Every structure is written in C-alpha cells, then in structure tokens.
Chain A
Amino acid sequence: EAGVAQSPRYKIIEKRQSVAFWCNPISGHATLYWYQQILGQGPKLLIQFQNNGVVDDSQLPKDRFSAERLKGVDSTLKIQPAKLEDSAVYLCASSPNLLAGGPNEQFFGPGTRLTVL
C-alpha cells in the first residue's frame, strides 16, 4: 500500500514570496490533515478535511494561508505572502474516515521543510 505522498520535500523562499505544497493521501482515505511542525514542537493542526469539506480550520492563519481539496482526493496548501515565522515542516496526514468510528489512526507523509529567508 502506497503511503502519503508530499512534494516538494524542501523549499527555500524569501519573505513575502508565495509557496504551495501538494499532498496525495492514501487511496480511499476520507480525512486529510495539514499540520505545521516548528522545530522542537509538536505538530499543530492547520486544517482538516473530510472528503472535500473543511471540518476544522480554526488554527489556519487565513490572511496568508489557504488550502483546498477540490475532488476529495489530493490537496494543496498555499502561503502568500510568507513570513520568517512560517519556517517549519509542513506535514500532511490522512486517515480512513473520521466519522466511521474506530481507531482513526493518522498516516503521515514525509513532510515539506520550508525555509523562509
């Protein structure tokens, strides 16, 4: 079974530039998560999708961050314009179905390491 795919793996940009990250979850997984992980901290949930609908985006800085999952499969996360404090690893995760009960374990992708100069 293929895991969660993310690209790019690394990105270096200057502040005020824009950047986009892509995630392809495990086939059949209805729930998709984007996390921001700053060095030395735990993953912080930015946005959570159930199919193509947003379940939670309470911690997404909506003035600069946006995310979509138009067809309920893959997803993109965009930052525009980037700030120095956005330097972090952006992790995508998926789980089978948030609403179906059961363990709902999250499978994480390798992440995208973003450096903002």
Chain B
Amino acid sequence: GQQVMQIPQYQHVQEGEDFTTYCNSSTTLSNIQWYKQRPGGHPVFLIQLVKSGEVKKQKRLTFQFGEAKKNSSLHITATQTTDVGTYFCAGKWSGGFKTIFGAGTRLFVKA
C-alpha cells in the first residue's frame, strides 16, 4: 500500500551541528509536505514540494524533492535548541485525496 518511510527515527546532535532527515516512497508522489511537531504540541506546516528536483529554502532549512518524486529530504544547517521536535513528511499520490504521514524523525539538540 501507499506509505512513506522516514529515517532516522531519532537524531541527537550538538547545537551548531547539521541535521538531515529522509523520506522515501516506493511509488511516485504527487507532492510532499513537511511538518514540525514540538514536544507536547501539534504538527505545524513547514512547506510543500511539488516539482521534480525542487529545492526550497527557509532560513537554515533546505527541502529537496527527488528527480523521480519518490524521495525527499529536510536539512537543517547549524541546529539550534529551538529546532527540537519531530519532523514529519507527508506524501500524497496522484488519483487520491489522502495524505499519509511518515513516522517522523525526532531531533534532540544538546546545548
């Protein structure tokens, strides 16, 4: 069935180090969204990627969508303690309306 696999499950970094989380689908996606959920909070939308090979930046965050539209990544440069939380990708496939969330990558940042 349709699903998105997300790795790693957890990542511990020292403040100032970089962080990357990866999202993969076995079938071609229509689009992919990224959300951040702070501990005890609810998911908050970060970005949506639609085009093959698309790269978008938001300050220290860089989002990429693979050429085949089957994988995506989120890279944070020079992490800060405010980046702590769980990052989810959410994929959507052609011909359907459902968005399926990955299991998330939980980021821990040590000051």
Contact = CB atoms under 8 A, between A and B. Distances in A.
A69 B82 CA distance: 37
Interface size class of chain B, counting residues whose CB lies under 8 Å from the partner chain: 10 to 19
Nearest to A31: B97
A82 interface: no
A43 B98 contact: no
A51 to B, nearest CB: 13
- In which size bucket is the chain A interface? 20 to 34
Interface in A57-93: 58, 91, 93
A106 B101 contact: no
Interface string B30-61: 00010100000111110010000000000000
A44 B56 CA distance: 26
Nearest to A55: B97
Contacts of A45: 98-101
A105 interface: yes
B102 interface: yes
A35 B100 CA distance: 10
Contacts of B98: 45, 48, 55-56, 58
Interface string A42-53: 111100101000
Contacts of A44: 101
Among the interface residues A48, A55, A58, A108, which one has the most CB atoms of the partner chain B within 10 A? A108
A91 B43 contact: yes
Contacts of B48: 103-105
Contact of B44 (A48, A103, A104, A108): A108
A103 B93 CA distance: 14
Contacts of B100: 45
Interface of B: 6, 33, 35, 41-45, 48, 88, 96-104
